Structure 1
């Protein structure tokens, strides 16, 4: 099998993250089966992205992904890449990933991710 177009690393111990990825995986079932996208739990491979300088805590805080060119994507850029691949959600990638909206999209994603991370730490989810 060839290398996936996108490998998404996420935290299954976060109930919000896990539910979101399960939803996307269901929407992308054909792409997953074909090996075009892969979803990986960082808790099983905590040093998986250390070559990129990403720690386990970084990945627990924000989505991370590698693309087919072995480039690292983080945060909102991962969500946009997943939406581009998801049937019926390309419009989200176009709307929130355009050059004018992207800085605001990244800012909003990062603030939400910070709150979610703090909530998970408070609940001792890891």
Structure 2
């Protein structure tokens, strides 16, 4: 089977992350079945992105993905890539992923991810 166009790595121990990915999986059933996109739990393969310089803690803090060419995407760029392929959510990719909005999107995503990471650590979700 060919390599997926997008492999998303996320933290299933975070209820917000897991809930968001579960929602996306439901919207992307056909793409998942066809092998175009894959979602993987970093807790089952903690060194999966070590070759890209991403640690387990990096991935617990922010979404990470690799594309079909093996390039690494991080944070808001992953969200935009997922929206781009999700039926009915392309407009989100256009709105938040355009060259003017993307720096603000990344900033907002990173601040939210930092708060979520801190909350999860306090709750012992590691």
Q: For the residues of structure 2 that align with 1:96 and 1:80, how far apart are their CA atoms?
A: 7
Match of 1:83 in 2: 83
Give the length in aligned residue pairs. 126
Instruction: Tell me the CA shift for residue 103 of structure 1.
Output: 0.2
TM-score (norm 2): 1.00
Q: For the residues of structure 1 that align with 2:114 and 2:23, how far apart are their CA atoms?
A: 22
Instruction: Tell me the CA shift for residue 89 of structure 1.
Output: 0.1
1:39 counterpart = 2:23: no
- How well do the aligned residues superpose, as a CA RMSD in angstroms? 0.2
Q: For the residues of structure 1 that align with 2:25 and 2:111, how far apart are their CA atoms?
A: 24
Match of 2:74 in 1: 74
Q: For the residues of structure 1 that align with 2:12 and 2:37, how far apart are their CA atoms?
A: 17
Q: Deviations over 1:63-110 (max 9, x none)?
A: 000000100000000000000000000000000000000000000000
Task: Give the unaligned 5+ runs of structure 2.
Answer: none
Show structure 1 runs of 4+ deviating over 3 A: none
Match of 1:125 in 2: 125
